[in-house]
A and B are shown apart, each in its own frame.
Chain A
Amino acid sequence: MNSNVIGNIARFILLLAAQILIFNRIELFGFINPFPYILFIILFPVNGNKTGLLLSSFFLGLLMDMFCNSGGVHAASCIILAYYRPAIFKFSFGLSYEYQTVKLNDSLTPERFSFILIAVVLHHSILFLLEVFKLSFLWDILLRTLLSTIFTLITCIIIIYIIKPSKR
């Protein structure tokens, strides 16, 4: 239990630092950035404390907003993702997901992939919609959401493979 909490705190800090210092500076084609910091919400233990997840993802998003000067868009999309995470779990792994021990950082199965995909799409579409707040940029929003989703998905899967605990 205790090591779990410490692991989560370490993940929080490391992912936020990596996001700000590395991934916010990539700017592929001038406007595409991956947002792998949401791995914190995706990798949070399945049976973990829901209130804790909501609060910590709110602060994760708020810190991102401070660094990006973006008001509250990251905070809003993070808590929406955190709140609907159980529903996505239910969709991807079937009804009894809570009783199975779902381990996300393991080899990539279609269930895990679909879970990460839906989570990333949900987060990014809210993020870009709130960021622009104007429907006159609709095509731009869709394009950015699509490209960033692909990019984030690839980065997330690479990170999961890199930090996968090597126990056989």
Chain B
Amino acid sequence: MQQIFNFILKNSNRLLFLLLLVVSLSLTIQSHSYHKSKVISSANFFTGGIYEKVNNINEYFGLRAQNEELAKENARLKSLLFNLKDTTKLPEIDTIKGVKKTDIIVSKVIHNSYSVFENYLTINNGSSSGIKPNMGVINSAGIVGIVDKTSKNYATVISILNVKSQINAKIKKSNHFGSLIWNGKSTGFVQLIDVPRLASVRKGDTIVTGDQSVIFPPNIGIGTIENVYTEEETNYYTLNIRLFNDMTNLGHVYVLKNKDAEEILNLEKQSKKDEQ
């Protein structure tokens, strides 16, 4: 017994080092698997609060650009409205019961990272505004990412510039779809992989979100095709896509709340269970 105590006392620093190393490595491994570590993120009240304070000051430097962006979006929406056949008629509601399928929550990016392989944004709304993990985030130009973790007043978003992110997307013209990933190289480009060779792709074609995702509604802009490659092993196309969004400069974003998401996911889970 005495010897055990002596051993612990003599090697206390080494044991402490090993303990801390195990803790930090397990945190690292957890962060690489899909959202598990809750505490170590910039969505908690301390880090989120500091980022919000800093952003409050930084915001003033980008007011002109933000205003221009909003004015442009207004103009686009107005033009959509004026080109309706009957301008007094409101857009039709989607389902029989008269419930809208998608709710929109306005939020603001208070921290943005784009220099590492796994990039996250922090936004200043959280579970108290109804934001939950796995909701889509877009802005006026196109998609931004998917909500990862939430706290009461803040949430982190997996940016599309994250090597972990994978989003269903399609070619607008032909409806051929693939998976949208990021190869970690440039902040202006993402890649669409697994596009069948049958698809006719041309430089400059528009890529939009696909119909298979419950996170994003279909036909939200992503970018345009810049280059086309053929994968040697799989014989599928890989497309290099120039983003509509400037991911290094984000202001206001919209969080999309798909009201049917839970129902669809439950149904899919049910049918998977029945198969087994």
> A residues near B, CB below 8 A?
20-21, 27, 30-33, 50-51, 54-55, 58, 61-62, 65-73, 75-76, 79-80, 83, 130-133, 137, 140
Instruction: Kindly identify, within residues 11 to 60 of chain B, every residue whose CB is under 8 Å from any CB belonging to chain A.
Output: 12-13, 16-17, 20-21, 23-32, 37, 40-42, 44, 46-47, 50-51, 54
Contact with A along B96-136 (1 / 0, CB 8 A): 00000000000000000111111010100000000000000
Residue on B nearest A62 in the bound complex, by CB: B40
Query: Known: A61-B24, A73-B28, A76-B28. Contact between A66 and B13, CB under 8 A?
Result: no
CB contacts (< 8 Å) of A66 on chain B: these are 40-42, 44, 46-47
Contact B16 A54 (CB under 8 A): yes
Q: Which of A21, A51, A61, A72 contacts B31 (CB 8 A)?
A: A72
Contact B184 A75 (CB under 8 A): no
Q: Which of A30, A71, A80 contacts B28 (CB 8 A)?
A: A71
The interface size of chain B toward A, counting residues with CB under 8 Å, comes to 39
CB contacts (< 8 Å) of A80 on chain B: these are 21
CB of B238 within 8 Å of the partner chain: no
CB contacts (< 8 Å) of B31 on chain A: these are 69-72
Could you tell me the distance between the alpha carbons of A15 and B245 in the complex, rounded to whole angstroms? 33
Contact A51 B116 (CB under 8 A): no
B62–chain A nearest beta-carbon distance, Å: 14
Contact B117 A30 (CB under 8 A): no
Query: Known: A66-B47, A130-B28. Contact between A30 and B115, CB under 8 A?
Result: yes
- Which 8 A-B residue pairs are closest in the complex by CB-CB distance? A71-B31, A72-B27, A72-B24, A75-B24, A76-B24, A69-B120, A72-B28, A71-B28
Given A66-B46, A75-B20, 11 new contacts (CB under 8 A): A27-B115, A32-B115, A54-B17, A58-B23, A61-B24, A68-B42, A69-B113, A70-B118, A71-B28, A131-B116, A137-B184
CB of B156 within 8 Å of the partner chain: yes
Could you tell me the distance between the alpha carbons of A130 and B24 in the complex, rounded to whole angstroms? 11
CB contacts (< 8 Å) of A61 on chain B: these are 24
Residue on A nearest B188 in the bound complex, by CB: A30
Could you tell me the distance between the alpha carbons of A30 and B188 in the complex, rounded to whole angstroms? 11
Residue on B nearest A144 in the bound complex, by CB: B116
Contact A67 B12 (CB under 8 A): no
CB contacts (< 8 Å) of A32 on chain B: these are 115
Could you tell me the distance between the alpha carbons of A65 and B32 in the complex, rounded to whole angstroms? 13
Residue on B nearest A67 in the bound complex, by CB: B47
Q: Which of A21, A58, A65 contacts B40 (CB 8 A)?
A: A65
Contact B44 A50 (CB under 8 A): no
Instruction: Kindly identify, within residues 139 to 187 of chain B, every residue whose CB is under 8 Å from any CB belonging to chain A.
Output: 156, 184, 186-187
Of A30, A76, A80, most B-chain CB atoms within 10 Å: A76
CB contacts (< 8 Å) of B23 on chain A: these are 58, 72, 75
Residue on A nearest B121 in the bound complex, by CB: A69
Contact B113 A65 (CB under 8 A): no
Contact A72 B16 (CB under 8 A): no
CB contacts (< 8 Å) of A33 on chain B: these are 115
- Ordered by A's residue number, 5 sampled pairs between the chains whose C-beta atoms are within 8 Å are A30-B115, A50-B13, A62-B24, A73-B28, A131-B118
CB contacts (< 8 Å) of A73 on chain B: these are 24, 28
Of A21, A83, A140, most B-chain CB atoms within 10 Å: A83
Could you tell me the distance between the alpha carbons of A136 and B256 in the complex, rounded to whole angstroms? 34
Could you tell me the distance between the alpha carbons of A140 and B116 in the complex, rounded to whole angstroms? 11
Could you tell me the distance between the alpha carbons of A50 and B15 in the complex, rounded to whole angstroms? 12
Contact B156 A69 (CB under 8 A): yes
Contact B117 A54 (CB under 8 A): no
Contact B16 A76 (CB under 8 A): no
CB contacts (< 8 Å) of A71 on chain B: these are 27-32, 37, 40
CB contacts (< 8 Å) of B20 on chain A: these are 54-55, 58, 75, 79
Residue on B nearest A133 in the bound complex, by CB: B32
Of A27, A58, A69, most B-chain CB atoms within 10 Å: A69
